[in-house]
Structure 1
């Protein structure tokens, strides 16, 4: 160490002398700066820096003001911390980081920056405990090897304090326990631990030639045993590059490697060989690597090592901290398998800190707190009103289980009643104000409270008061609510109140009055006297007669409205037909004059052109004008319709035709499916969707065009198309599927024209009737026994809730057909599913003029025994009907006239097709 410090001092002296010599040479050569130049540059730099400081300070104040309004703006916290670090505002930076850490778990990068700043700031302060506390908070957010390594290295600096050596070893032990199994980064923690112990070893070794005392020998032996133990522990764990560690141990150990260590090392190598493909798949995968991590988790679950399962879950969540399903799987595993209080509760707490909007995580957290006897915490941040009802129910269940109902009154019972009151106030004030709707329209919480009061507290009067309140909240018109109240009275009340409840039900119910009337009559048959029976019969008959009259009036009113609407429709149809006939008559009178004038103009213009054209373009001198036009334009003959007269070049009609061709080419170019993707599930309220989509996909490759789809009123319809310059960009774009865009997952799929690809994805099946709790992984597990599953898509509402529908794509059509046969009618969680080949209707097939439905195409509707409906009669004259062939048809015992093969052409004597003229059509129509 002394030699290295002397060398550094000599090097510094040489550098100083060299700098001094350079200054002298500059002065001798006259390379001195001109007067005033340095001052002007410094003034300009000071002005620029002062302006930047003002702009940064204004931005800092804006961010702080925004956070005072919405403290849960994550990106605002990050921007504020970056600006304060740039400005060097250390005290304000510390406060900003503390505020953010109270609301959110911090990333590894933010924690390391904060820790390094605090370490520099405390170098001048004697108090190191603040940094230790900060390290403890950092290690609780995520399991990060870099943070643990930084913690251990920082603790070495306090080794000289009392108990410092034991503290360093304790931190290193916690580090290898937490991240020592990390296959790619755990090795650096083990090596740092061994390096530290080797330094300690050098301090206890006696100088050469000195005979150590007994105490020194014991200390030396103990230290050597520590290093041996660290080597053995590390070699028993499968870690990357563990062969180098084994070679180092062989070289370090004087007596060789023990046989037991070799066996453990070989066993770890075998485990490493199993895990290596999974680790390599993680290395090459793109973030967030969720599928690769899920495969790794499944592998470790089969292996069954709890420590390794825990570390792979932690690695997954470090990169996918905003995936509630992954947190749910992790916490469920800890609840059912490990059941260690500190580990379970800390994981649940981290889950709700990362995903506070997920009601299921909060419910699991409450159950875990109750299971381990811990206090409950404040809960908020849900996105639906019904979520608050469920979380309140979970909390009330917890409080109810704490009450000893054998006592007439207790502190726990009062807490339960107070919680019920607070929940009702909260649902009425906060939830309704925030969501504009009641989170508990059926008053489930009040029903539970009433039943608890009646069953456990024997307080039926309180239960009746609660039910009166339930009925005043708009539930009196529902029969099921009255019957629920009647069952409560039947179980815990008396006959008088049962009869009273049923009489009120008959008077108030509007959805199923017959049902409550029947219940009342049944009750009186069992419990009532003759007078009670007569009163019940009279009340029910009167009520049902009134209800039937009201229903008849409503039915008559609806029939009148329907009749009026039908008359209006008929009137509009007749008016439309009359106007169309009138326009046709007027148009027919003008067409003859206009057509003749146009033909004369066209003929005159082309005659002039023919005369002016060079003879070499006209061929021989006998070429006619019509032959010249056919040669020059290619529009006559088989390429043109009968009677077509081409417009002269440069005319308005020719320009319109060219523009239409250009638009057609542009549209065809836009529908280049090989270089396009289809984007859906975007928010209707998305501002400037074209710019948003361009920003999302510009990293995939050069974009040729972005086309969001808008409705008739100019509103965005939530989907669109992105066309790239090259098809190479499409796979990169498909990787952005399910990326979140303004709070919604964006769906990205290949752009395929199903009209041009009638067999597109015949290997895809459609499943309906799935339970709402069915996940993508469960469905894949069911389907993969029938073939190779390429893709699964669960259909959800825009809010993200499942519809019970799914599409599953197999590798080929045979596998899909096999899956339909085996899975149709299968029961999944008591739900009977329906499975069929996915075959949506082709778009725009029947809307195009002249398009004919293929004869072999399965119709989507099934016709009855009488064939097509009356609205599908053919209105084409019989003389123009198509025939299946040129042969004659025998009808009523005689040969019918042979009709043309098509409605627009006839066959001449030479057997060639000849176009029909208007006079031909007229003769055919009048011939019958």
Structure 2
């Protein structure tokens, strides 16, 4: 039986054979030949040096893997070094450690199985090696690995080698699995067909000639394999036809075995062959394109995608799946390829075990793709997987690193969706789940994502869904309220959070609780028009659910708030209009300056009076310098309240000349020194960072100064103007103290400076009660009237603002006003009535009357 089968010996790589020979055959020195002894000594010295280098390399790689187990290349080099060194036990552990993290390539599985086979090929080691082959053919499609597996079973499985009925059945089942996995491979699938035929022919030749029935049955089995192979398009199709006719000639069926035509073959076999030949011809060009050498991986991947599109148009799912398997073997970390593959299987196969296995391999090759994990969980649910299996996949998914927190959110919510469906279908599934599992999943999601999704819709999705399930499945209103309260602690400035909480109370019929929530949030500051929206929502609520007294109370509370908000909007519009006007004026002045440059001789022709008018500001220079010094002293007092970062992690207070400084505006209120330092880390040269903070609240005002060591670093920093930091587009410009002093001395400010000064005046009109939610209004700003920090012009005149300033008499002056342009003697001549009176003088004057 063994001679008739003539099975080949298992092939062992030369490297492994050399290692085995080196271990089993010690070197023998010739003591009579000193030259040989010297050469052997030199050889041993060289070997010891190589061995020392190998040992050092192994130790280095082992240290690298202990620090970073996810380094694929280090795993490969470590296994290669251990295999060369011959440390079998450590090599086994290294291979197992890598296979737990990554799928091994077909060649690595072949080396592993062959190494284990060469070490012990007894019956006791057969199950372990067979398991290695099973793991290998699961990871990737490889015809050569399947052939090694088939040869190993035929050689080392006693029941197969002895041709017992159980052994023959086992071998046939393995061959059928191999054909299903790789039999449709156009260029290499014929190898498995040939191996299958050789196995069946070997059995045919050892059957006793007197057992006619058994021989005829075996002949039919071989004929069926030929027929199946002739109906499959593969590169050896024409040779298969010649071999089939030759075999049938031996059986006395086909008269001419050497002809390549279809004479003597049944019509249905000939028809199947012709169809397979046409399919082969249609795929030859695609096969040539995907096997071209010297092209980039991107081009080859595009050729695979075109080939896949063609196969999908033909409508044979088995052929499409084989081609996808070939593609992912070539490009195992292409996430788009795995997504397309799994999407195709979801459409065609739905909830089969094949789909589950593909998802398992996809997430192992591309664990950083959250969509693959989400669809993996859904696939398990479709296949009625156990809770233990689904929980295991979920736990693996949240340990991965994704590109965005939205992917974590999708995985958490997918897990909750599955648990909710399983609890709702408690009578249809075997394992009954407890609602506490959903609550635990929500809590984990909130704890993990809250620091990263603050004031975002994702956080609202989690808590609104959680509160809904607490009511519907948990039947616990107190727990649902606790969910909303926890969200408000995290994101109290999110309008949707308050509206969702209120909507739940209204839905449950808890009108007083909803009214209490309106009272808590109507005075808060929300983004956009949210502050006005919540006020109007409260009024609508009282109209629909409250009494007249409740409505009147709401009006009393809401009306001042709406007035303040309206005033703030008007002031913001005026600022924006003023900025736009200043920009137009500056552009027109720039154009006029350019025109004057083109005709500079025009200035010489101007009248004397006009030239004198143009030079008038210079006469006020001395008076303006006094003002500048006064303002600089105030500015120095303000700067002392700012925190200063010296660039080394410590804070200090000091003076600044702003000679090499960048001024940053539109900075996020939550930005810290470290955030700004990281933003300019690519620029370098940072000396100090100063964030301007509110004098009373200590909160950031959205402005900062960054000192640099030289102009080169400053220019690089200014080049980052309009870049994003923490969701805000920064405005970066060089700080110029001289220009600022000139503007202050002449009473002019840039639009940005006016905006900054007016913002401090306007934000006091908001009247915020919750200072924690406001980064603009100080804690003491609660009045309903806007306050002006400086109602005086530098010339001493009253600065009047508003739409109705036309009605103010021009001669009006504030109490105690003195014209600074008049001399002291002129003021004295006007009499005591023109002088400012004290409070006591006024009191006496009124008492006399």
- Give the Cα separation in 1 of the matches to 2:715 and 2:231: 69
Q: Secondary structure at the match of 1:402?
A: helix
Q: Deviations over 1:13-67 (max 9, x none)?
A: xxxxxxxxxxxxxxxxxxx999533222222222222222222222212222222
1:206-257 per-position Cα deviation (integer Å, ceiling 9, x unaligned): 4xxxxx2xxx222222222221111111111111121111011111112023
Query: Which residue of 2 is the match for residue 385 of structure 1?
Result: 405
- Which of 197, 201, 211 is 1:198 aligned to? 201
8 Å Cα contact 1:389-1:440 kept in structure 2 = no
Question: What are the equivalent positions in structure 2 for 1:426-465 lying under 5 Å apart?
Answer: 426-428=448-450, 432=451, 442-465=459-482
Q: 1:473 aligns with which of 472, 475, 490?
A: 490
- State the match for 1:188 in structure 2: 191
- Structure 2: distance between partners of 1:482 and 1:396: 24
Verify: 1:320 aligned to 2:331, yes or no.
Answer: yes
- Tell me: higher relative CO, structure 1 or 2? Use CA pairs within 8 A at least 6 residues apart: 2
Partner of 1:681: none
Provide the rounded CA distance (Å) in 1 between the counterparts of 2:200 and 2:286. 33
Where 1:123 maps in the other structure, the secondary structure is coil
Provide the residue aligned with 2:303 in structure 1: 292
Shift of 1:301: 1.2
Contact 2:351 2:382 (C-alpha < 8 Å) held by counterparts: no
- How big is the shift at 1:373? 1.2
Cα distance change, pair 279–131 in 1 and its aligned pair in 2 (3 A): same
- Give 1:165's aligned residue: 168
Please give the alpha-carbon distance, in whole angstroms, between the structure 1 residues aligned to 2:381 and 2:583. Answer: 63
Query: Following TM superposition, by how much is the alpha carbon of 1:570 offset from its aligned partner in structure 2, in angstroms?
Result: 13
- Whether 1:238 aligns to 2:241 is no
CA distance 1:115–1:443, change in 2 (3 Å): same
Matched, 1:148 2:172: no
Mapped contact 2:183–2:190 kept (Cα < 8 A): yes
CA distance, structure 2, for counterparts of residue 222 and residue 181 of structure 1: 26
Measured in 2, the distance between the counterparts of 1:425 and 1:501 equals: 25
CA RMSD of aligned residues (A): 3.9
Contact 1:104 / 1:354 at 8 angstroms: preserved in 2? yes
Do 1:399 and 1:412's aligned partners in 2 also have CA atoms closer than 8 Å?
Answer: no
1:165, distance to aligned residue in structure 2 (A): 2.8
**After the TM superposition, which residues 824-843 of structure 1 pair with which residues of structure 2 at under 5 Å, given as runs?**
none
Equivalent residue for 2:316, pick from 263, 284, 305: 305
CA contact (8 A) 2:186 2:233 kept: yes
CA 1:124–1:47: 2 relative to 1, 3 Å: farther
Q: Distance in 2 between matches of 1:713 and 1:135?
A: 62
Match runs of 1:892-903 below 5 Å? none
- 1:268 and 2:276 correspond: yes
After superposition, the Cα gap between the structure-2 partners of 1:712 and 1:248, relative to the gap in structure 1 and judged at 3 Å, is farther
Distance, in Å, in 1 between the alignment partners of 2:130 and 2:558 is: 78
Comparing 265-274 and 350-359, the one that deviates more: 265-274
In structure 1, the partner of 2:134 is: 136
Change (3 A) 1:406 1:489: farther
Task: Tell me: CA distance 1:127–1:495, structure 2 relative to 1, closer, same or farther (3 Å).
Answer: same
Residue by residue over 1:566-615, the C-alpha shift from the partner in whole angstroms, topping out at 9 and shown as x without a partner, is 99999999999999x99xxxxxxxxxxxxxxxxxxxxxxxxxxxxxxxxx
| Structure 2: runs of 5 or more not aligned | 7-29, 255-264, 601-679, 684-711, 725-849
- CA distance in 2 between counterparts of 1:438 and 1:531 reads 35
Rounded to whole Å, the distance in 2 between the matches of 1:440 and 1:104 is: 35
- Aligned partners of 1:335 and 1:344 also within 8 Å: yes
- 2: CA distance between counterparts of 1:484 and 1:387? 24
What do the CA deviations read for 1:884-919 (whole angstroms, capped 9, x no partner)? xxxxxxxxxxxxxxxxxxxxxxxxxxxxxxxxxxxx
The alpha carbon displacement at 1:109 in A equals 1.6
> What's the secondary structure of 1:321's corresponding residue?
coil
Query: CA contact under 8 A between 2:542 and 2:551: conserved in structure 1?
Result: yes
How far, CA to CA, are the matches of 1:711 and 1:287 in structure 2? Answer: 40
CA distance in 1, matches of 2:504, 2:514: 9
Residue 227 of structure 1 pairs with residue 225 of structure 2: no
Pairing of 1:687-698 with structure 2 (within 5 A): none
Counterpart CA distance in 2 for 1:529 and 1:480 is 26
Deviation at residue 347 of structure 1 after TM alignment? 0.7
The SS at the match of 1:322 is coil
Which stretch has the larger CA shift, 135-144 or 116-125?
116-125
1:619-652 deviation per Cα after TM superposition (whole angstroms, max 9, x unaligned):
xxxxxxxxxxxxxxxxxxxxxxxxxxxxxxxxxx
1:568 and 1:92 mapped to 2: Cα distance?
76
Instruction: Find the counterpart in structure 2 of residue 492 from structure 1.
Output: 508
Pairing 1:796-807 to 2, within 5 Å after superposition? none
Map of 1:105 onto structure 2: 103
| Offset at residue 149 of structure 1 (A) | 0.7
Q: How big is the shift at 1:202?
A: 2.1
* Change in 2 beyond 3 A, CA 1:169/1:548: same
Taking the aligned partners of 2:358 and 2:223, their CA distance within structure 1 comes to 34
Does the 8 Å CA contact 1:460/1:493 hold for their aligned counterparts? no
SS, match of residue 234 in structure 2: coil
Counterpart CA distance in 2 for 1:508 and 1:308 is 62
> How big is the shift at 1:180?
0.7
Q: 1:521 matched to which residue of 2?
A: 539
- How far is the alpha carbon of 1:406 from its aligned partner? 9.9
CA contact (8 A) 2:464 2:500 kept: no
Give TM-score scaled by structure 1 length: 0.54
Instruction: Specify every segment of 5 or more residues in structure 1 that has no aligned partner in the other structure, as ranges.
Output: 6-31, 207-211, 583-683, 688-709, 719-796, 798-928
Seen in structure 2, the aligned counterparts of structure 1 residues 149 and 397 have a Cα distance that, compared at 3 Å, is same
Contact persistence 1:455–1:492 (CA under 8 A):
no
- C-alpha displacement at 1:713, in angstroms? 7.2
Instruction: Find the counterpart in structure 2 of residue 395 from structure 1.
Output: 415
